[in-house]
Amino acid sequence: MSKIAFIFPGQGAQYCGMGQDFYEQTRIGKETYDMASSLLGFDLPKLCFEKNDRLDITEYTQAAMVTTSIAMMRVLEAEKGIRPQVSAGLSLGEYCALAAAGVMSDADAIRTVRQRGILMQEAVPNGIGAMAAILALDALTIEEVLSGMEGVQIANYNCPGQIVISGKKEAVEAANEKLLAAGAKRALMLNVSGPFHSSMLTGAGEKLGEVLKGVEIKTPQIPYVANVTAQYVTDREMVKPLLKEQVYSSVRWQQSVETMVADGVDTFIEIGPGKTLAGFIKKITKDARVFNIEKLEDMDKLINFS
């Protein structure tokens, strides 16, 4: 019997137009988008399915992404009867993992990420912070180079050969040069609106902690893996502190996948726009099955799933 993990992508996924078939062709999908529109006071389908400048703005991106992934998940569960034994999400995707684990209601996940997006957008003026992807250099070397620098840190341990750094723009640019000199194949500046998962967002994390005080957290029905620790969370008292810390801490995605594989997870179902996490997993482990759900037709891959 397979041990299944639902996994959810983060903000970097390309999703304009994604989810439209779930909205137009399924009752549950439509209800999820309509609920989000009612909660947030703007038209989520229009935001998600029509090209617009707001999709690149964090305060809108986060709500759109989580709504889309949750809608896809609920349709998958209802129509295929597939439920996970474990859940995890990269950065923003952790909120979908919380919904999958029964820790947070769909409505609270959507409401909270809307506030999270606003707080992160407001934390650092545009142009002050930056992020870069460092390719083909091991984590230990990157950690050693950054340990002697101020204003820059590892934001994401994505997979072997791909680590993202974040911080002050000048510090990130300087780090890129040092990491290239240390053997990195490439150092690519990312098109993002802020220095996410860096200490520059500590204030945003503290404010999110205040928002979370009003959110009901339930005991996980299944374990989920926290970005900050890359370990299972089964105690609801740990949820809010970890979500607050996640805003300004490294996302340990590679380590999270390794935790799940060590626990016997052999099947990962990525739910949401893009196939980014599937690509990471294939570089982390050769032994797992990976499926993607980003279109209704993708669920047909799971007809004979067991």
Would you name the residues annotated as active-site residues?
A: 91, 197
Q: How far apart are CA 243 and CA 20, in angstroms?
A: 29
Please state the φ and ψ torsions of residue 6, each to the nearest 5 degrees: -85, 130
Q: Which amino acid is at 99?
A: A
Helix (H, G, I), strand (E, B) or coil at 186: strand
Q: How far apart are CA 96 and CA 103, in angstroms?
A: 10
The encoded tokens of residue 135 equal: 């390719």
Please state the φ and ψ torsions of residue 45, each to the nearest 5 degrees: -60, -40
Instruction: Determine how many CB atoms are found less than 10 A away from the CB of residue 34.
Output: 14
Cα angle 123-126-130, degrees, rounded to a multiple of 5: 90
Q: How far apart are CA 60 and CA 186, in angstroms?
A: 30
Closest listed residue to residue 153, CA positions, set 205, 200, 204: 200
For 158-196, b/e burial (b = at least 16 CB within 10 A) is: bbeebbbbbbbbebbebbbebbeeeebeebeeeebbbbb
